[in-house]
Amino acid sequence: NAGVTQTPKFQVLKTGQSMTLQCAQDMNHNSMYWYRQDPGMGLRLIYYSASEGTTDKGEVPNGYNVSRLNKREFSLRLESAAPSQTSVYFCASSLHLSNQPQHFGDGTRLSIL
């Protein structure tokens, strides 16, 4: 049982380049999330999707876009990468919103030079 799978695991970009981070879950969960993790700041929510066809902004959405491609997949796009977006990105999923525990992937480590 794979759970939440993120690709790629590592990526280095130059400032201004674009990139899409992929996430897929096989737990038949309705809700999916994208977080970034920076040293000393814990996890901060970028965007989330309550169900297929819906997306909403989280705490730090600027510079990102998302697509809920289907129930399984939720992608995060950086249109014009900036050094401030250097971080570890985590995708998570839960059965529904509202108090449901979230299950995380292993992260994508992104460096922007």
Partner 1 sequence: GQQLNQSPQSMFIQEGEDVSMNCTSSSIFNTWLWYKQEPGEGPVLLIALYKAGELTSNGRLTAQFGITRKDSFLNISASIPSDVGIYFCAGPPPPNTDKLIFGTGTRLQVFP
Residue numbers of the site for partner 1 (CB under 8 A)? Answer: 4, 33, 40-45, 48, 50, 56, 58-59, 90, 92, 97-99, 101-107
Task: Give the nearest distance from C-beta 15 to partner 1 in angstroms.
Answer: 26
**Nearer residue to partner 1 within complex by CB, 17 or 43:** 43
Query: Measured between alpha carbons, how far is 1 from 97 in angstroms, rounded to an integer?
Result: 22
Task: Give the nearest distance from C-beta 88 to partner 1 in angstroms.
Answer: 9
63 class by beta-carbon count within 10 Å (0-12 exposed, 13-18 middle, 19+ buried)? middle
Task: Give the nearest distance from C-beta 80 to partner 1 in angstroms.
Answer: 26
Report CA dihedral (47, 48, 52, 54) to the nearest 10 degrees: -60
**Nearer residue to partner 1 within complex by CB, 10 or 28:** 10
Query: Measured between alpha carbons, how far is 6 from 48 in angstroms, rounded to an integer?
Result: 15
**Nearer residue to partner 1 within complex by CB, 19 or 97:** 97
